[in-house]
Structure 1
Amino acid sequence: MPHEIALGEVYIPPLLLVVIIAYALASFAFFIAGKLGLYRFIAFPVIAELCLMVIFVNAISKYITIF
């Protein structure tokens, strides 16, 4: 079972760290897509970024056993 990560007296749930990493990866992916001009092919960019973030959360939490 996953356990909390302690930073001093503050306990951080592992899922919060996974979501932060996934958000950074999704933002970076959309930044690259914007630079390459692929952003214009996406009808709803906010929903697409949210879906990509959920995919990254699933992939990170599945393949990293610490989280």
Structure 2
Amino acid sequence: MNDTFDDLHVQLEQLKTEHRDLDDVIARLILDPAPDRLQLQRLKKRKLLLKDQIAKLESGSIPDIIA
């Protein structure tokens, strides 16, 4: 089970890294005087998808506490 937890941790870190990278790309595109709006929209959509995946993994990796 420890391997599964390690795999999830690695996957979570990869998703967080991609999310941060998209932040940087989006910020640079916004500074462009004539940004490609379609590309910007796609990147923002991908970023939201990553955020949802991160939240799902994080909520699933927290063990349930039996009261």
Task: Name the one with the larger strand percent.
Answer: 1
TM-score range, shorter chain: 0.3 to 0.5
User: TM-score of the superposition, structure 1-length normalised?
Assistant: 0.47
Higher relative contact order (CA 8 A, sep 6+): 2
Q: Which protein is bigger by CA-based radius of gyration?
A: 2
Task: Name the one with the larger helix percent.
Answer: 2
